[in-house]
Every structure is written in structure tokens, then in C-alpha cells.
Amino acid sequence: MNYAPTLTMTGKVGIVSGAGTGIGAGVALAVAELGAAVALIGRRADKLAEVAATIRDMGGVALECPCDATHMNSIAPTVASVRDQLGEIDFFVNSAGVNIQQTTLDVTEEAWDTVVDLNLKAAFFWSQAVAKAMIGAGHGGRIVHISSQMGAVGFAKRAVYAASKGGLVNMTRVLALELADAGIRVNCVGPTFVDTPLARKMLEDPQIAAQVMPRIPIGRMGSVDEVAAAVVYLLSPGADLVTGHHLLVDGGWTAQ
């Protein structure tokens, strides 16, 4: 028995959405460093180009696919282009997401649609398209969604965000059940507040920092690398028996 499954991803092909910044960029760099050829999905072509350049500088293979993940008519052509240019798809990491902070009484229909369309609707239909490609190739695969600790617990001013992430977690469970026979494992990673420029700016507000930091028992935000490490594990052979799981990378937030 092999007690130390490899993390090497040489020869693998994957798609990472939300790959221009933050967690998505970190995941793309991590899988590329491990040898995977990676297609980068995101709205900002300039940010995708920066990530792709870093991957190529390290000797990796990156394909820039700028598009709006919420545009349903872009999904099938993008997946087909990835298969044509990089080969059959082994994994998909869905990191595209958005949050609009509003109290329950202030939530607008526009805000609801913006958050749910990207965090949940787009996540499903990209997963559907990738799963069809994987089944067509006949070799199984991995799908990992970046959820949130808010997919497991609530927090003020996040009614819509928590609804979308909670839905994403339960959707993941159903996809895992339905795609198991095809050899496709489907999981979620649920980070706490992660040290990105956006989060750092938000926590400059003393009131917000006072609400957030005491809830993290280890006493700090997470890092992009720590979230990427959890994703890499779920993509690795060591997670062959793991599917339908929500892996919380939250510093203990949800343990209390």
C-alpha cells in the first residue's frame, strides 16, 4: 500500500475559474507548479495575462480564456477550446465568486442576481459542461468548488452570499452522488477570511476587524497558499475516497 500518494500533476489538464486574482490565481499557480497545464478563466484579460506569464516563467503551460463566467453561451465554446488546445480535462476548480454586503432589509434584486448568478448558477453550468467532457473522455476527473465558511454558518450582512455558498455546498453533494459512477469526485473547500488585498482593506475598519478576528481561534486570517494546498489535496490521488465533502479551511471558525 502506498502511504504517501504523490501530488505530482504532470500530464494533467485543468480549468481554474476566477484565476486572475486571489484564491483562483493561487490555485492556478499551485497546480501549474505541480506540472498541470491550466486554462485560466476570468473577466480581466490583463490579470489572466499576469498569472499566465508567471506560469510560463516557471516552465509551465497556461491558456488564457478571458470571459464572463455568468454568460452561459460562453461555457461550451470555452470548454471545447481547452480540449482542443490542451487535451482532455482532468480537473475543474471553480473559484469565481462575488459578495455584496447588505443587511437583509437592504438586499436588492439586482444584488441577489449578481451574487447567485456567479456563485451558484455559473458554478453549476460550468461543472455540468466539464463533467460532460470528462464522461466523454471516459477517464473520470475532479471538480473542486471554492465555497466559504459561510456555506456552513451565518454572518451579518451576508444573507445572499451565505445562501449562495450554502447552496453550492449542497449542490456539490448532489453532483458527487450523481457523478460517482463516472469516476468524478466533487468537493468543496470552505475558507475563512483570506489575506488578500480586498480582505486586508476591509479589516482596516476597526469595527469589522473586531467582529471577525475574535472568531478565528488561531488568531489570524488564512493565506491563499493554505487554501490552494487544500485544493491540491482534493485533486490528488490521496483524496480518491473523498467526494461530496466540504473541507473547511477556517482556522477553527466553525468549531465553536
Instruction: Render the burial of 45-77: b for 16+ CB within 10 Å, e for the rest.
Output: eebbeebbebbeeeebbbbbbbbebbeeebbee
What's phi and psi for 198, nearest 5 deg? Answer: -65, -45
Cβ-proximal residues to 112 (8 Å cutoff; 6+ apart), any chain: 160
Q: Which of these, 83, 85, 67, lies nearest to 75 by C-alpha position?
A: 67
Is 233 among the residues known to form the active site? Answer: no
Annotated catalytic residue, options 91, 92, 126, 161: 161
Catalytic residues: 161
